Structure 1
Amino acid sequence: MSETAGSEQALTLRVGRMTYGPDAIARTDDGKAVFVRGAVPGDLVRARVTREQPTYSNAVLEEVLEASPERVSTAPCPFVDVCGGCPWAHLSREAQLRSKRDNVVDSLVRIGHMPQEEADGLVRPCSDPGDPWGYRNKVELAFQAQGRRSVIGMHDVTGDRVVKVDRCPLLQRGFEKVTKSVSGALSYLSNSRSLQIDRVGVRASRRTRQVEVALWTQTGGFPRAQAAKILREATGATSVVRVLTKGPQKARKVSGLEKLGGYGSWEERVGSESMLLSAPSFFQVNTRGAEELVRLVMEGLDPAEDECAMDLYSGAGTFTLPLARRCDWVDAVESYGPAVRDLRRNLERTGLDNVDPVGGDADLEFPDADADVIVVDPPRAGLAAGVVQKLSAQPARAIAYVSCDPATLARDLARFAEEGTFSPVWVTPVDLFPQTFHVETVTLLQRVRR
């Protein structure tokens, strides 16, 4: 059903399911797909079309005519309808977990060309590490200069504006208001100094009680001492750093790291491991979720003390450290310079000397030695075709594939199937990102018996 007001079309729709994205999907009477921002499965809504394409439309929710039983009417954050950080906040916890599993299955079928029955049998229920709010150890704030003033906050749902927020309920409990303190400190500083800041990273740990504020800026002059003093006084930060970048805005690269005050790094505990991380290094934003990933990987591989392991895309050592404690030897490869340095520092701190940390591309620096068990944790782009071929040539008995994107996971599992050496045994989605559509997965592949 539709009605037209001026140039905009309003539709009355019954919503079907969530997409792998911020929108829910509905269909018009003639079967055309409509992606509705703000709706949840089961809703009857009036939605305004914002973009019309031949095969689909985009729309935004204007009114809920009949609320779904899966709709959460009030969320802990007052900014959920304007901030882009929690697009699934109106969806119940149980429905989020089901939808994330469904999206993984859908990717395996649609992109990996896996039979529906096989995909359904392969994908386990979505694991829930807990803490649907207050789970993030890191948030990033946008910085927008407006003359001599500045706005520090979150990107809105369109990504075009910055919304000033006084707290972020996703940030670790006890630190929710650090965002307001950072915003106030930088607003005060910008009244007297011109600040060229790209973004601000805040890391906080309930376990170590450490807070780091990282200012991402281009190279050039900067009020280092004043920024460190004001930020530490306002937030109680144990570390204030400046991450120097260069290059075009959409493709800037890290060129250096300056310690402005405090430790110059951030410490977190993952299980029994203590890890130091520099601001540019990747680390899972959900610490309890990271522990669940480690548990699934280690239980799936069950490494023995006489075995050799390989850890590709190792980062700062989330999987390298527990592998090194269980295995005779670990070859670890990581391409990102700051993460390689953090990995080496973490190995030195723990006294583990049975790891060879190599900096470089996983395809170019693929270890010469054979492995018994392998962990791969690639970025969103997934595995390069050459890496899949090299892995398939390994004599390993099992591979644990940690993925942050169901689409590239599905593509890569299809590539493994073509090689014919390893086959998936199970895929476990893990909800590291409640209130969003993102989902992590751990896939166990075992050698095909011939």
Structure 2
Amino acid sequence: MGYGPEAVAHAADGKTVFVSGAVPGDTVAAELTEDGPRFSRARTVEVVEPSADRVVPECPYATLCGGCPWAALSYPRQAIEKRQNVVSSLVRLGHFPADEAEHLVAQTVTPGKPWGYRNKVELAVGTTNGRLTLGMHAAASDSVVKVKECKLLQKKFQGSVKSVSGAMGYLANSHGLQLERVGIRASARTNELEVALWGPSGPFPRAQVAKVLADSTKMTSLVRVMQKGPAKARKIAGVERLSGKGSWGERIGSETMRVSAPSFFQVNTAGAEKIVELVLEGLAPDDDDEAMDLYCGAGTFTIPLARRVGFVSAVESYGPAVRDLRRNLESARLDNVDAVGGDAGREFPDTDADIIVVDPPRAGLAADVVRQLSEQPARAIAYVSCDPATLARDLARFREAGTFKPVSVTPVDLFPQTFHVEDVCILRRA
């Protein structure tokens, strides 16, 4: 498998061909869809001889919906392919020697169930025959697939997809609602379910929407997330509580956190717990340590760090997440954290940290952040990455700076049935 939904084959002349609808070991009849100078693309027309690793997906919508592109691949083989994608990125993009990359990257950790693991799904909004419909993004087009349930969502809440999409479809068409997407967050640990309605600001039938959704699903929070600006650069104009708590609560380890609808939180709670465990194990925090947590979000790493060290400098650029962080610190009764709102590069803490956590978005670390980290006297850095390509690039930058070197990379499968993988990389002073 490549780092994407397609399997990799080679033509007789050696050219790489990315084949949709195939898994490693398949013999397929495929139709060429794109023939470029460096690589080609094809789609599977018929599986002539199935691979030993081909399985029947648990979800009946897997071939239609874009959310489970690896669903036809056995779960043990998914773990193998994800590790190989990480190794390949280190070699191709980070220019690590192949034997060093193989040594660095551990076997993929699979912390939870291959299905029913997600605490969040988002419903796409489309139009069918002039009527608004809600469902999942289609795999091969911009259309929306109507579904009765999502097998990736925690089992207890899978039926909420049908309930919420039906209710909002009715409301949108009868009241002319402008919706861009609908988020559902659910926790089997706290029994909380939040529905978030994303769209532009303006008049809104608040009471009617709250009543219809309350009749259709057992939600604990209903919020409206209002946005402004062009489609590719949407900004949050405000979050309005329509009913219930106005935020979503989840328990991770021994901590209970509250997260507002716009804030990031890992979609796999069991996987998030494993990542926290790997980070703490790799950093080995001490009571006298001073820690730094960059791109800290609502406090997934900040809070457990603050329980174990003397002081934490936490930096987060996204306003809603900063507010969630401060609220979570107050609830946890922790006063040894300096929570700073701002860009990690511009608001880089003026302190000498002993241990550091960085959990950047998919774009990875800016070059100036790598430089500033490399000037720290810390004994170790835990780099949590959601993209093998940007991790490989940043590790090459660390290597060039010469202060820190990676000693381990552990892939953690937070996203079964997809090609995505989370990595925990531990770097120590060279």
Tell me how far apart the structure 2 counterparts of residues 386 and 245 of structure 1 sit (CA, whole Å).
31
Aligned residues: 430
Amino acid corresponding to residue 32 of structure 1 in structure 2: K
- Answering whether residue 17 of structure 2 is matched by residue 24 of structure 1, we say no
The answer to whether the Cα contact below 8 Å between 1:199 and 1:216 also exists between their aligned partners in 2 is yes
CA 1:63–1:147 in structure 2 vs 1: closer, same or farther (change >3 Å)?
Answer: closer
Corresponding residue of 1:60? 43
- Answering whether residue 66 of structure 2 is matched by residue 112 of structure 1, we say no
Amino acid corresponding to residue 340 of structure 2 in structure 1: V
Deviation at 1:149, TM superposition (A): 2.3
* Structure 1 unmatched runs, 5+: 1-17
CA 1:329–1:159 in structure 2 vs 1: closer, same or farther (change >3 Å)?
Answer: farther
The answer to whether the Cα contact below 8 Å between 1:144 and 1:152 also exists between their aligned partners in 2 is yes
TM-score (norm 1): 0.94
Tell me how far apart the structure 2 counterparts of residues 440 and 115 of structure 1 sit (CA, whole Å).
22
Q: 2:213 aligns with which of 228, 231, 237?
A: 231
* Aligned 1:367-386 pairs, distance under 5 A: 367-386=349-368
Deviation at 1:147, TM superposition (A): 6.4
Secondary structure, aligned partner of 2:155: coil
| Alpha-carbon displacement from aligned partner over 1:117-173 (angstroms, at most 9, x marks no partner) | 000000000000021000000001101244662110001012410000000000011
* Aligned 1:96-245 pairs, distance under 5 A: 96-146=78-128, 149-245=131-227
TM-score (norm 2): 0.99
- Indicate the percent of aligned positions where both proteins have the same amino acid: 65
Corresponding residue of 1:409? 391
Tell me how far apart the structure 2 counterparts of residues 279 and 406 of structure 1 sit (CA, whole Å).
27
Tell me how far apart the structure 2 counterparts of residues 367 and 159 of structure 1 sit (CA, whole Å).
45
Tell me how far apart the structure 2 counterparts of residues 110 and 162 of structure 1 sit (CA, whole Å).
36
Secondary structure, aligned partner of 1:285: coil
The answer to whether the Cα contact below 8 Å between 2:405 and 2:429 also exists between their aligned partners in 1 is yes
Tell me how far apart the structure 1 counterparts of residues 141 and 180 of structure 2 sit (CA, whole Å).
15
Deviation at 1:367, TM superposition (A): 0.2
Amino acid corresponding to residue 148 of structure 2 in structure 1: D
Amino acid corresponding to residue 90 of structure 1 in structure 2: A
- Answering whether residue 322 of structure 2 is matched by residue 343 of structure 1, we say no
Q: 1:83 aligns with which of 46, 49, 65?
A: 65
| Alpha-carbon displacement from aligned partner over 1:288-309 (angstroms, at most 9, x marks no partner) | 0000000000000010001100
Amino acid corresponding to residue 57 of structure 1 in structure 2: S
* Aligned 1:210-359 pairs, distance under 5 A: 210-359=192-341
- Runs (4 or more) in structure 1 with deviation over 6 Å come to none
Secondary structure, aligned partner of 2:415: coil
Tell me how far apart the structure 2 counterparts of residues 175 and 31 of structure 1 sit (CA, whole Å).
47
Secondary structure, aligned partner of 1:174: helix
The answer to whether the Cα contact below 8 Å between 2:172 and 2:178 also exists between their aligned partners in 1 is no
RMSD over aligned Cα atoms: 0.9
Tell me how far apart the structure 1 counterparts of residues 291 and 313 of structure 2 sit (CA, whole Å).
6
Tell me how far apart the structure 2 counterparts of residues 115 and 191 of structure 1 sit (CA, whole Å).
58
| Alpha-carbon displacement from aligned partner over 1:383-417 (angstroms, at most 9, x marks no partner) | 00000000000000000000000000000000000
Q: Which moved more, 1:23-32 or 1:296-305?
A: 23-32
The answer to whether the Cα contact below 8 Å between 1:27 and 1:33 also exists between their aligned partners in 2 is yes
